[in-house]
Every structure is written in C-alpha cells, then in structure tokens.
Amino acid sequence: MTMIAGIGIDLIETSRIRDTLDKFGDRFFRRVFTPKEVDYCKSMKFPDRHLAARFAAKEAVGKCFGTGIGGGLGWKDIEITHSELGEPLVELHGGGLELAQRLGIREVRVSLSHTESYGCAVAVAEK
C-alpha cells in the first residue's frame, strides 16, 4: 500500500531564471542543474521556461521532504529527467538519496508546467 509522505509545490517567474542566467551564466548552471538537465533545456526552443520548471521541481521536492534546499539536500541531489514518453521523473543522488532512505520515501513523483511567465511544479513523495 502506497502512503503519501509529503507534498510540495513551487512557482517561479521565468524572468527570474532569465535574469540569473544573464547575470551569472554557466556558474548558475553548474550550481543548480546537472549536465543532463542543462543539455535537455538548451535543446528546447525556450530553455529558460524549461529551466524554470526544473528549478520549481527541485524546490517542490525539497518541500516534500520537509527540509527545503540546503543543509543535507543540495540542488544537484535532485535531478529532473524524463521517460521515453516525456513524463518528468525525479532521480535522487547523494544527500537526496540518503534523506529519502532515512525518511522511508521510495519514490517521488513530479508534475511540471510552464508558460512564458512562470514555471511551476508539484511533487509527491511516496512511502
């Protein structure tokens, strides 16, 4: 039987991501996103929208765990990939994987959305 261990949601203005990219460039990419995430987003027509949705997803996962980003859960401990059909998937690494195991979380599901102005995500952690 699956039990919900946590729910998280986040919304971010796409302009914040665009402004941060303009100001910090690759430093921002390297700090927040994995190479796989960057490659995927850069391959899209509007990379900033996809980056905003992934940024929101990482924040939503942090809220799911009840910790937020920081301390034992880093930006790159959460990676947003996708299935062959395009379904967004959460892959946990390092501190994210350790925290999930400690909390008894066996899977984190995520839903992403974006517009020209906003990126958003909802995450659900399952025990």
Q: Copy the structure tokens of residue 55.
A: 């940024």
Radius of gyration of the chain (CA): 14
Q: Catalytic pick from 45, 93, 114, 127?
A: 114
Residue 62: how many other CB atoms lie within 10 Å: 25
Distance CA 111, CA 92 (A): 16
Q: Is 63 a catalytic residue?
A: yes
Q: Is 114 a catalytic residue?
A: yes
Distance CA 63, CA 127 (A): 16
Torsion sign (Cα): 63, 11, 3, 90: negative
Q: Catalytic pick from 23, 36, 45, 63?
A: 63
What residues are labeled active site? 63, 114
